[in-house]
Homo-oligomer: A and B are copies of this chain.
Amino acid sequence: MGEQWNQLEQQFMDYTKEMSQYEEAIGLMFWDLRTGAPKKGVEGRSDVIATLSQKVHEMTTSVEMKGYIDELKGNTNDPIIQKSIEECEKNYNQYSKIPSEEYKEYVSLQSKSEAVWEEAKEKNDFEMYRPYLEKMVEYNKRFAEYWGYEDHIYNALLNNFEPGVTVDVLDQVFPKVRKELTNLLQKIQTSDVKPNPSVLTGEFPKQLQQDFSLEILNRMGYDFEAGRLNETVHPFAIGLNTGDVRVTTKYDEADFRTAVFGTIHEGGHALYEQNIDQKLAYTPLAGGTSMGIHESQSLFWENFVARTEPFWKNHFDLFLANAPETFRYVDFYDFFNAVNEVKPSLIRIEADELTYCLHIMVRYELEKALINSEIEVQDLPKLWNDKMEEYLGVRPTSDREGVMQDVHWSGGAFGYFPSYALGYMYAAQFHSAMKQELDVEKIIGKGDFDQIRSWLTENIHQYGKMKKPLEILEDVTSEKLNPEHLINHLTEKYQKVYNF
């Protein structure tokens, strides 16, 4: 590949390869910390991660990097180098616009703040957490000014997670989705159909759950020669290199859904990373293009494949073969409806497919108002509870189950939450496009997912960061972000399940 590169291009690619290699080592240490690293080694290991991260940070903002950007931007015939330069420039700007002293203070505050959040959540003590959250908001407002923005200060933060998506885009889409979902929710809640989740919650030994999860991963096309499945407290997928993309899951012996749908979800993330074009390996483009597109891939498999009727029709026998005897007499539709139960609840990560986006709306509206200085941190607990009551009809009785439930803000990740809801919309829009080319229901019904996986690879996975999120969306679906696909999908689905 390198033959057609000139000397400068080669140097630049070597330079970014080295950065990717440090990131790979960091990634492995991160994975290891979560899969059984001994407790007494953690402090030292965290320092090793910090040292290597510092190295990457230095390289991201170095004079050398600036030189590559200035020399090569718009001045190369290789599209990989051009896109890599753009990616590096984005990162260069993101870090170098912040005064380095201020950035250091911020990084140090971040870990402190996350630790305080954890303790405060445990103790249900928002006042303990408040000063840290206030500082995180202040830093992010200042950073947004350093980075610059058009129209809305919050755009500067959105740009870190979902480049191209702005407040104007979200404000056109989110209220509409919210309205339709709350309408749907009302119909569901007044329906006579009451799925009975207790048919799903018998004792289910871990080993059997694991066998079933591994078989589903295998059928999805997850390459076990390029990955492995481990157990962690919080499930995740991590791409160390394109030949090593690991998945973790969590087992609840009283509820197999945690592991099975969790594995499928993380498997969707992993398929993305496993199928990025090999030509992009060890370049700055060897990763998912945005949080939202990444989430669209996990949600596609979780909701558009694994929560569908044809999927369970095809896999019910396999499920029963792996399940304990107690499941043997469960009626298929009792099972299927229970898998698709809608039930407003307080905790985002436990939410069903319908109410999940409403949880995101609460967060989006609050964080935007915070960054716009329209509300204060001290107002958050009440505002959170009010919005939860308004959109979901449930009201937290503690901040632990309310505003303090998520780690994101404690680490300063404002602008991240919208990606989750965008992931739902992207997934639905991809699903509509796929249906124009493939008989998706039939394929799922046959359990032969190769065509689905190939379509996603062809259209999305292979590009890595070669295309921006909205560019991929528009190239694949020939339209702009359109929430109707999600709304239609959910309406059709729940009409069937809840019979309205």
Residues of A within 8 A of B (CB): 18, 21, 24-25, 28-29, 32, 36-45, 47-48, 51-52, 223-228, 240-244, 246, 281-282
When A24-B45, A24-B48 are in contact, do A244 and B40 touch as well, CB less than 8 Å? yes
CA distance A224 to B52 in the complex (A): 27
A227 surroundings in chain B (CB, below 8 A): 38
When the two chains form their complex, are residues B228 and A44 in contact, meaning their CB atoms are under 8 A apart? Answer: no
When the two chains form their complex, are residues B52 and A25 in contact, meaning their CB atoms are under 8 A apart? Answer: yes
When the two chains form their complex, are residues B18 and A25 in contact, meaning their CB atoms are under 8 A apart? Answer: no
A281 surroundings in chain B (CB, below 8 A): 44
A43 surroundings in chain B (CB, below 8 A): 243
A243 surroundings in chain B (CB, below 8 A): 38-44
Closest chain B residue, CB of each to CB of A50: B21
The 22 listed contacts between A and B (C-beta, < 8 Å) are A18-B51, A25-B28, A25-B29, A25-B48, A25-B52, A28-B29, A28-B32, A36-B228, A38-B225, A38-B244, A38-B246, A39-B225, A39-B226, A39-B243, A40-B225, A40-B243, A40-B244, A43-B243, A44-B243, A44-B244, A44-B282, A45-B241
| 3 nearest A-B residue pairs (beta carbon) | A41-B244, A40-B243, A41-B243
CA distance A25 to B31 in the complex (A): 13
Closest chain B residue, CB of each to CB of A44: B241
CA distance A281 to B496 in the complex (A): 63
In the complex, which of the residues A44, A51, A281 has the most CB atoms of chain B within 10 Å of its own CB atom? A44
Known pairs A38-B226, A44-B243 / 17 extra A-B pairs, C-beta < 8 Å? A21-B51, A24-B44, A24-B45, A24-B48, A25-B48, A28-B29, A28-B32, A38-B225, A39-B225, A40-B223, A40-B225, A40-B244, A41-B226, A41-B243, A44-B241, A44-B244, A44-B281
A32 surroundings in chain B (CB, below 8 A): 28, 32
Number of copies: 2
When the two chains form their complex, are residues A41 and B223 in contact, meaning their CB atoms are under 8 A apart? Answer: no
In the complex, which of the residues A28, A29, A48, A51 has the most CB atoms of chain B within 10 Å of its own CB atom? A48
When the two chains form their complex, are residues A224 and B38 in contact, meaning their CB atoms are under 8 A apart? Answer: yes
CA distance A421 to B424 in the complex (A): 65
CA distance A94 to B18 in the complex (A): 26
CA distance A246 to B40 in the complex (A): 12
When the two chains form their complex, are residues A21 and B40 in contact, meaning their CB atoms are under 8 A apart? Answer: no
In the complex, which of the residues A18, A25, A29, A43 has the most CB atoms of chain B within 10 Å of its own CB atom? A25
Query: Measured between C-beta atoms, what is the minimum distance from A19 to chain B in Å?
Result: 10
A225 surroundings in chain B (CB, below 8 A): 38-40
Query: Measured between C-beta atoms, what is the minimum distance from A273 to chain B in Å?
Result: 11
Closest chain B residue, CB of each to CB of A281: B44
Closest chain B residue, CB of each to CB of A23: B48
CA distance A52 to B25 in the complex (A): 9
Closest chain B residue, CB of each to CB of A39: B225
CA distance A52 to B21 in the complex (A): 9
A24 surroundings in chain B (CB, below 8 A): 44-45, 48
CA distance A234 to B324 in the complex (A): 37
CA distance A28 to B42 in the complex (A): 13
CA distance A43 to B244 in the complex (A): 10
When A28-B29, A36-B228, A228-B36 are in contact, do A240 and B21 touch as well, CB less than 8 Å? no
Within 8 Å by CB of A37, from B37, B41, B244, lies B244
Closest chain B residue, CB of each to CB of A48: B21
When A28-B32, A29-B28 are in contact, do A21 and B47 touch as well, CB less than 8 Å? yes
A38 surroundings in chain B (CB, below 8 A): 224-228, 243-244, 246
Query: Measured between C-beta atoms, what is the minimum distance from A257 to chain B in Å?
Result: 27
A39 surroundings in chain B (CB, below 8 A): 225-226, 243
Within 8 Å by CB of A241, from B21, B41, B226, lies B41
CA distance A18 to B22 in the complex (A): 14
Closest chain B residue, CB of each to CB of A37: B244
